[in-house]
Copies of this chain bind each other. A is one copy, B any other.
Amino acid sequence: MASDLSAEIRVRPIGVVDVGIDRPPSARGSRYNVVSTIRVFNRYAAGLLGLEGYSHIFVIYWMHEVRDTRLVVRPWGREDLPDVGVFATRFPPRPNPIGLSVVELLGVSPPKVFVKGLDAWTGTPVLDLKPYDYYDIVRRPHIPEWLCERWEQSRDTVRRAAPWLGPCECREESR
């Protein structure tokens, strides 16, 4: 039974990021300034019907160039931050390098989908698209202090590019 539970699962990409963010080390600015093109493979394109009724979607993708798995990571390599488990971060070197981005949906022209805010490189396989709905909004999530500090540093830049984000205050006193 234990072997069944951990048995390998096979997934097939439903599409690819035809135009995504530049790879490091080029400076790319905020991902919210990049318009990405997702091309859904023709055999799945019928599944896009009605997607344009949503302003935002989740893109689930496969970070195909991740080669290592680390269970404990140091955020941004910073000496002053604590070690954290990889499940407590969005960092790529996960047991399954599945990526998840909330993106603004700019347009659907099957088999292409145009989005803003996708944190995936050109050539990234896409596993699923899901609409973002009211079950996905947490009013004021609590996040660790180290991440709150980082968020406050980037918040104003991010919000200019993605004015639909919000609320954006992670401090207890402003709740």
Binding site for B on A (CB under 8 A): 5-14, 16, 40-41, 44, 46-51, 53-56, 58, 60, 62, 64, 71-72, 82-90, 94-96, 98, 100, 102, 125, 127-145, 147, 151, 155, 158, 164-168, 170
Q: Are B165 and A62 closer than 8 Å at their CB atoms?
A: no
In the complex, residue of chain B having the shortest beta-carbon distance to the beta carbon of A46: B71
In the complex, residue of chain B having the shortest beta-carbon distance to the beta carbon of A55: B142
- The CA-CA distance from A40 to B56 in the complex, in Å, is 31
- The CA-CA distance from A43 to B92 in the complex, in Å, is 18
**What are 25 A-B residue pairs whose CB atoms fall within 8 Å in the complex?**
A5-B125, A6-B41, A7-B12, A7-B13, A8-B10, A9-B64, A10-B11, A12-B95, A12-B96, A14-B95, A46-B71, A46-B72, A47-B86, A48-B87, A53-B143, A53-B144, A56-B138, A60-B60, A87-B131, A88-B131, A100-B130, A131-B147, A137-B138, A137-B167, A137-B168
- The CA-CA distance from A26 to B94 in the complex, in Å, is 36
- Across-interface contacts of A6 in B (CB, < 8 A): 12-13, 41
In the complex, residue of chain B having the shortest beta-carbon distance to the beta carbon of A13: B6
